Amino acid sequence: MSTSGTYNFAPTLGELTIYAFGLIGIRPTALLHEHMEGARMAANLLLGRWSSMPGVNTWQVDLQTVDLVPGTATYSVPANTIAMLDAYVSVSNGVETINRLILPISRSEYASYPQPNQQGSVTVFWFDKLLSPTFTLYLVPDGTQASLSYYRVRQSQDSVLSGGLSVELPVYWLEAFAMGLAARLAMQWKPEMAVALKAAADEAYSIAADQNTETQQFYISPMVSGYWRA
């Protein structure tokens, strides 16, 4: 069996747009500037919608590190951050640096602390989802913590039609994107096809989302001590 031996399939947004319009019966020769502008808007809204869906878009996770300042509790987060995931502080004992996991809390829990400015060993963080987001630590760093590192989900890069640029997606998400784009374009240009395409887009999204997970071990250990008496 002879195959290409390559893995370079990365259609541009323009190619995916033409394909999506084809799904709703609009041929390339019929496309106008208003069609393409509508597609650009629909593509970016679709990616924004996916960023708010349950689960984590694994290809959009990266690691950020912030230097901690003694006595400072609140720090800025890049504005393109969707969510903060696992976080850990790097603690120095004068000989070596050790990473220690800290946990997220809610606004209400942070507000319940009677002495939020108390310095000591950092144990939790509160991610405040503002337009200019921040995270706040408790206890407040006392100088033994060198830095805080956190994994975050960032938003998708903008989808741009000019320049032959691709959409920031792994290959197993391309069909879901094309179907989702076609469904949105049908709402504007072929409303009679919108319901059927929405169902097809939802199916394609579900298939891609099932693959969009991390493989890890999961253990269940029953506790049997309650069945025995000393």
Q: Of 175, 182, 187, 153, whose CA–CA distance to 64 is shortest? A: 153
Looking at residue 97, its pLDDT comes to 86
Residue 223 in any domain: the answer is no
Q: Of 10, 3, 8, 40, whose CA–CA distance to 162 is shortest? A: 40
Residue type, 29: T
Looking at residue 60, its pLDDT comes to 93
Looking at residue 56, its pLDDT comes to 81
Please indicate, yes or no, whether residues 127 and 167 belong to a single structural domain of this protein. Answer: no
**Cα dist from 8 to 4, 13, 124, 166, 229, whole Å:** 10, 15, 43, 12, 64
Residue 226 in any domain: the answer is no
pTM reported for the whole predicted model? 0.85
Please indicate, yes or no, whether residues 141 and 196 belong to a single structural domain of this protein. Answer: no
One pLDDT digit (tens) per residue for the chain, 230 residues: 789 999 999 999 999 999 999 999 999 999 999 999 999 999 999 999 999 888 888 999 999 999 999 999 999 999 999 999 999 999 987 788 899 999 999 999 999 999 999 999 999 999 999 999 999 999 999 989 999 999 999 999 999 999 999 999 999 999 999 999 999 999 999 999 999 999 999 999 999 999 888 766 655 666 555 555 54
| β-pair partners for 101 | 88
The sign of the CA dihedral 49, 55, 58, 60 is: positive
Token code pair at residue 75: 């720090």
Residue 189 in any domain: the answer is yes
Q: Are 142 and 119 in contact (CB under 8 A)?
A: yes
- Per-residue HEC secondary structure of the chain comes to CCCCCCCCCCCEHHHHHHHHHHHCCCCHHHCCHHHHHHHHHHHHHHHHHHHCCCCCCHHHEEEEEEECCCCCCEEECCCCEEEEEEEEEEEECCCCEEEEEEEECCHHHHHCCCCCCCEECCCEEEEECCCCCEEEEECEECCCEEEEEEEEEECCCCCCCHHHCECCCCHHHHHHHHHHHHHHHHHHHCHHHHHHHHHHHHHHHHHHHHHCCCCCCCCCCCCCHHHCCC
Decide: residue 184, CB within 10 A, 0-12 exposed, 13-18 middle, 19+ buried: buried
Domain boundary among 110, 130, 154: 154
Residue 2 in any domain: the answer is no
The sign of the CA dihedral 63, 65, 71, 74 is: negative
Residue 224 in any domain: the answer is no
Residue 145 in any domain: the answer is yes
Domain that holds residue 176: 13-55+158-210
Token code pair at residue 57: 């878009």
Looking at residue 212, its pLDDT comes to 84
Please indicate, yes or no, whether residues 114 and 147 belong to a single structural domain of this protein. Answer: yes
Instruction: Please count the structural domains in the chain.
Output: 2
